[in-house]
A = this chain, B = another copy of it.
Amino acid sequence: LYNQVMFGYVRDVLLKQFPRLPDAPLLLGVSGGADSLALLDILVRLRYPLVAAHFNHLLRPEAGEDALAVKRVAAKMRVPLVLGADDVARHAREFHLSIEEAARELRYRFLFEQAEKHKAAAVLVAHNADDQVETVLMHLLRGAGLDGLTGMSLYALPNPWSETIPLIRPVLGIWRSEINAYCLERSLHPLTDATNADTAFFRNRLRHELIPELDACAPGFRRRLHQTADLLAADRALLDDLTAAAWDTVTAEARGDFVTFNRPDFTQQPLALQRRLIRRAVTCLRPDARDADFALVRRALDFISGPTRTRKIDLGLGLRLSIEGETLLLAAWEADLPAADWPQISEAAVLPVPGEAALENGWVLRAEALPDGQGALRTARGNRDPYRAWIDLGDRQPPLKVRPRRPGERFQPLGLGGHSLKVSDFMINKKIPRRARSGWPLVTAGGEIVWIPGHQPAHPFRLTEQTGQVIALRLVRRAGASEAT
């Protein structure tokens, strides 16, 4: 029975996308868990041309055995299988990602690389209805707008990995219990889904504690939340279309380091679209800062709609927004600014904790102590703002100092495993403009560089699982400072 319900659902989803069996294969991500195993079984029964793809995250000792098990299943079903592997933990460290984010990035990259290679008609992944509910709830708890609340989509083209190959989730409407029942009825033997400990901890807590509790409080809540996501997805699709049209209307110029809007056109847009235009501009300039946060967007709109005495503000994320006549200019700090606008320092100064040190041109470095090292570790991992850093002084002695670089001085940027570079080379790599380099402020402790503001902190001062006390550092510009220049 479950057999038939689930089978029918998957068949209908795919029939809608492929009215006839495609010539090109479907590339299916197969972890070996119940979801992907059941989907694989159904696709085989439907006679779709297939390539299975298994990705080893190298996070667990038994991951190699999982790959072998998937290999046996694929061989038995006569489905060609490709195997991939990468060091997720290292990728997470290098790019300041959570383990979950890093796993996701590498896994999808692998799937779409293989899809390209096999000229696949689509990439299929086996997220189920419970996954959808967990995703929506996770976004809700962590802060989301409409986009986050729509969860995952059944069909996505374009998607972050391809403009031409769609990503399809053919069991997004099927509950975990139904999939398990399907596996039982079809005598499939799924691998136990050993999720990792880090961010998955949060998802696990949702799955095993919060969702059952919410469901007890309001029976049927999971089904309704799934429906809510479905309703919101249509709303989002419409707003995305409207945003794209509005972008074409209001954008005068969009380059890698700045975006200009026509101000009267911008202010005529409804608030919902003004917010999305700002977020889209921020994403253009800071592709890694996936979420221009609520506060940043509000600051931007308050500034734009406010009295025009102030001509320029610092938005955070290393971005500034200015009004120049009929034009709104959103620019990255690496855009060609007058030298007078850079954070600069000519003589060494102490940076007290807590406290601040004044720089030139209205900039200030602030430091404060945080007792909760592990909380800071999570914040630091999620941070995309180059003007913020969190450090662990360890055994080293205060005070912190701020000073310009010294000739030949070296620096171990976080993410290179302790490898050191010349500060001058680092600044060239990072495109700090030549005229700003010699006066650029460095935060130091005991002679060592702790942080180059605007970039990552130093490897020896990184937060670890053992970190207790943390110092939070921030480079800010005083309100109105730019007015004076």
Contacts and interface: CB of A to CB of B under 8 A. Distances in A.
A143 B149 CA distance: 13
Interface in A221-238: 221, 224-225, 227-228, 231-232, 234-235, 237-238
Nearest to A142: B218
Contact of A143 (B206, B209, B227): B227
Interface string A179-214: 000000000000000000000001001100110011
A149 B140 CA distance: 11
6 contacts: A142-B218, A142-B221, A143-B228, A145-B235, A235-B235, A237-B272
A315 B270 CA distance: 35
A275 interface: yes
A484 interface: no
B235 A146 contact: yes
Interface string A231-254: 110110111011000000000000
Contact of A271 (B140, B210, B234): B234
Interface of A: 140-146, 149, 202, 205-206, 209-210, 213-214, 217-218, 220-221, 224-225, 227-228, 231-232, 234-235, 237-239, 241-242, 270-273, 275, 294
Contacts of A202: 217-218
Given A210-B214, A213-B213, A231 B273 contact: no
A145 B273 contact: no
Contacts of A209: 217
Given A141-B217, A205-B217, A213-B213, A272 B227 contact: no
B145 A224 contact: no
Contacts of A144: 224, 228
A373 to B, nearest CB: 16
